[in-house]
Amino acid sequence: MLYRVIDRADVPSLVAAFMERYEVVAPVRRGEKYVFEAVSDFDEIALDYPTTIASPKKYFLPATETLFAFDARENAVTDYVDEVRPRVLFGVHACDINGIMNLNSVFNDPRYPDPYYRAHEDATLIVGVSCTPTDTCFCHLMDSEEARPGYDLFLNAIGDRYLVSIGSVTAANILESACDVREATDADRAAFRAATRARQRAFNPAIPDVQEIPMLMDAFHEDAFWDELGGRCLSCNACASVCPTCYCFDIRDTLDPGAETGRRERVWDACTSPQFAMVAGGHNFRATPAARVRHRMYHKLNGFLATHDRSLCVGCGRCAAACKVDISPIAVLEFFERKGADDGE
Q: How far is the CB of 71 from ligand SF4 (least distance, A)?
A: 37
Q: Which residues pair with 325 in a beta bridge?
A: none
What span, in angstroms and rounded, lies between the C-alpha atoms of 338 and 334?
6
294 binds ligand SF4 (CB under 6 A): no
DSSP string, 123-186: TEEEEEE-----TT--GGGGT-SS--SS-SEEEEEETTEEEEEE--HHHHHHHHHHS--BPPPH
Q: How far is the CB of 22 from ligand SF4 (least distance, A)?
A: 26
What span, in angstroms and rounded, lies between the C-alpha atoms of 212 and 74?
55
Applying CB under 8 A, the site for other proteins has a residue count of 76
Q: How many CB atoms lie within 10 A of CB 63?
A: 12
272 binds ligand SF4 (CB under 6 A): yes
188 binds, among ligand SF4, other proteins, none (CB under 5 to 8 A by kind): none
Q: Is 9 helix (H, G, I), strand (E, B) or coil?
A: helix
Q: Which of 141, 300, 335, 336 binds ligand SF4 (CB under 6 A)?
A: 300
Stretch that binds other proteins, among 26-34, 149-157, 189-197, 200-208 (CB under 8 A): 149-157
Stretch that binds other proteins, among 51-59, 129-137, 259-267, 314-322 (CB under 8 A): 259-267
> Any idea how long the chain is?
345
Q: Which of 15, 129, 316, 332 binds ligand SF4 (CB under 6 A)?
A: 316
Phi and psi at 63, nearest 5°, equal -60, -35
Binding to other proteins in span 34-93, by CB under 8 A: 67-68, 70-72, 74-77, 80-86
Stretch that binds other proteins, among 44-52, 102-110, 197-205, 332-340 (CB under 8 A): 102-110
Q: Which of 36, 276, 335, 336 binds other proteins (CB under 8 A)?
A: 276
Stretch that binds ligand SF4, among 9-17, 44-52, 67-75, 321-329 (CB under 6 A): 321-329
What span, in angstroms and rounded, lies between the C-alpha atoms of 47 and 50?
9
Q: How many CB atoms lie within 10 A of CB 206?
A: 8
35 binds, among ligand SF4, other proteins, none (CB under 5 to 8 A by kind): none
Q: Which of 54, 313, 332, 333 binds ligand SF4 (CB under 6 A)?
A: 313
What span, in angstroms and rounded, lies between the C-alpha atoms of 155 and 127?
7
What span, in angstroms and rounded, lies between the C-alpha atoms of 31 and 26?
16
Binding to other proteins in span 155-184, by CB under 8 A: 167-170
Phi and psi at 125, nearest 5°, equal -100, 145
Instruction: Say which amino acid occupies 275.
Output: Q
Contact 65, 254 (CB under 8 A): no
Q: Which residues pair with 77 in a beta bridge?
A: 70
Binding to ligand SF4 in span 214-243, by CB under 6 A: 233-239, 242-243
244 binds ligand SF4 (CB under 6 A): yes
152 binds, among other proteins, ligand SF4, none (CB under 5 to 8 A by kind): other proteins
Q: Which of 176, 250, 326, 337 binds other proteins (CB under 8 A)?
A: 250
Q: Is 3 helix (H, G, I), strand (E, B) or coil?
A: strand
Q: How far is the CB of 202 from other proteins (least distance, A)?
A: 28
> Residues interacting with ligand SF4, by CB under 6 A?
233-239, 242-245, 272, 293, 300, 313-319, 322-323, 325, 327-329
